[in-house]
């Protein structure tokens, strides 16, 4: 039913664009017979808008993988380096939240672990929107930051790392079926900044999938039920990703090397000193305005990677 609804929306969209193009064609022909500068300027703007919409739809043809249309669960993990890397992880969190806002996507923080002094240790975000996973799978890997440290008394240059993971959101009982006997649920008190207790009740939830030993902890919500639901959503998606990774490894034997999103796989550098630049090491795509990128302007980097990846197997 979900697939049928998506196909229905696609058909309606293209029929609407076909009608819009036909109407603009008739109006353009009419404007040639009776020239009117103001009317022609309005038509030119509408034609430009339609052309941009068609370009965007043409780009979406690059999303050919089975799960590209789905919502995504994005995870940010700070690397070695303590406060420096934790601050970098929080900068990346803000970047992706701003990117989602720019695209009109809904972003919800499922779980967040704060650093002792500043920044975050890790965060998991659910991002809902058309082709959310299709876009965000381009972000998987290690992101490197080079800057003058705001935490260094001598204001020296530091390099920080953070790992980004993106997985498609799983659908319960369709993609993954979990036997309740395979789960162990632990409940504990949520802790906040500096380890101080923020709740007196055991609302935080830890879910362990015994056959795979995958563990998910969620303490962001106020109620035990909400944390349990968020945890199950993450667990389902991680189990589905585990299966996808197995498939990708099998395909890699035939089609090439499979590179998972893990430490050692650096994909992008953000240089703030001694010069300013963001470079994607997979495509060679560069941006001279890192501040704009860190404010959520990621479309150029994503588009370059997705376009270059057309035809390749994607985990």
Q: What is the pLDDT of residue 124?
A: 94
Distance of alpha carbon 27 from its chain centroid, rounded? 41
Three-class DSSP category at 129:
coil
Cβ neighbours, 10 Å, residue 67:
20
Q: Phi and psi dihedrals of 66, rounded to 5?
A: -60, -35
How far is residue 111's CA from residue 207's CA, in Å, rounded to a whole number? 13
**Per-residue tokens: 129:** 């929107």
Q: C-alpha angle with apex 28: 25 to 33, nearest 5 degrees?
A: 130
Query: Do 72-169+258-308 and 180-254 agree at the fold level?
Result: no
Q: What is the pLDDT of residue 201?
A: 65
**Per-residue tokens: 247:** 């498939």
Burial class from Cβ neighbours inside 10 Å (0-12, 13-18, 19+) for residue 178 reads middle
Strands (E), the chain: 72-78, 106-114, 120-128, 141-148, 157-168, 183-188, 204-209, 214-218, 266-271, 277-280, 286-287
**This model's pTM is above 0.85:** no
| 47-72 pLDDT tens trace | 999 998 888 787 778 888 888 989 99
What separation in angstroms does the CA of 112 have from each of 49, 193, 219?
Answer: 39, 11, 8
**Token pair 């959101």 in the structure block, residue:** 169
Residue 122 β-bridge partners: 77, 113
Tally of residues, the chain = 315
Q: What is the pLDDT of residue 102?
A: 96
Q: Which CATH number applies to 180-254?
A: 3.30.160.20
Which residue, 185, 220, 182, 223, is CA-closest to 202?
223
Distance of alpha carbon 284 from its chain centroid, rounded? 20
Q: Phi and psi dihedrals of 60, rounded to 5?
A: -65, -15
| 161-191 pLDDT tens trace | 999 999 999 876 667 888 999 999 998 877 6
List per-block mean pLDDT (blocks of 10 residues) for the chain, which spans 315 residues.
Answer: 80 91 90 83 90 83 86 93 92 98 95 90 94 94 93 84 93 78 88 50 87 89 85 91 80 57 82 95 96 96 90 49
Q: What is the pLDDT of residue 196?
A: 43
Which residue, 20, 265, 63, 67, is CA-closest to 176?
67
Type and span of the H or E element at 217 = strand 214-218
**72-169+258-308: CATH, from 3.30.70.1660, 2.102.10.10, 3.30.300.90, 3.40.1280.10:** 3.30.70.1660
Q: What is the pLDDT of residue 200?
A: 58
Strands 277-280 and 286-287: antiparallel
Distance of alpha carbon 112 from its chain centroid, rounded? 16
Structure letter (DSSP) for residue 195: G
- Listed by start position, the domains of the chain span 2-60, 72-169+258-308, 180-254
């Amino acid at each position: 039913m979900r697939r049928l609804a998506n196909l229905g929306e696609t058909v309606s969209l293209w029929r609407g664009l076909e009608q819009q193009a036909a109407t603009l064609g008739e109006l353009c022909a009419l404007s040639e017979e009776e020239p009117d500068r103001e009317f022609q300027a309005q038509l030119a703007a509408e034609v430009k808008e339609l052309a941009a919409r068609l370009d965007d739809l043409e780009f979406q043809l690059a999303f050919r993988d089975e799960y590209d249309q789905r919502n995504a669960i994005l995870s940010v993990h700070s690397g070695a380096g303590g406060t420096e890397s934790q601050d970098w992880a929080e900068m990346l969190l803000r970047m992706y939240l701003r990117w989602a806002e720019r695209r009109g996507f809904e972003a919800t923080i499922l779980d967040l672990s704060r650093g002792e002094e500043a920044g975050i240790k890790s965060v998991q975000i659910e991002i809902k929107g058309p082709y959310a996973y299709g876009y965000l799978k381009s972000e998987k890997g290690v992101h490197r930051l080079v800057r003058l440290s705001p935490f260094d008394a001598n204001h020296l240059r530091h390099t920080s790392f953070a790992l980004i993971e993106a997985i498609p959101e799983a659908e319960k009982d369709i993609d993954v079926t979990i036997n309740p006997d395979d789960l162990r649920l632990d409940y504990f008190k949520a802790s906040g900044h500096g380890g101080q207790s923020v709740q007196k009740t055991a609302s935080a939830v830890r879910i362990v999938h015994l056959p795979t030993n995958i563990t998910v902890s969620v303490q962001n919500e106020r109620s035990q039920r909400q944390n349990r639901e968020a945890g199950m959503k993450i667990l389902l998606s991680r189990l589905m990703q585990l299966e996808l990774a197995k498939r990708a490894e099998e395909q890699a034997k035939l089609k090439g090397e499979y590179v998972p999103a893990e430490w050692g796989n650096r994909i992008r550098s953000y240089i703030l000193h001694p010069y300013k630049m963001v470079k994607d090491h997979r495509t060679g795509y560069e941006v001279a305005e890192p501040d704009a990128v860190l404010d959520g302007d990621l479309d150029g980097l994503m588009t370059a990677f997705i376009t270059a990846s057309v035809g390749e197997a994607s985990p």
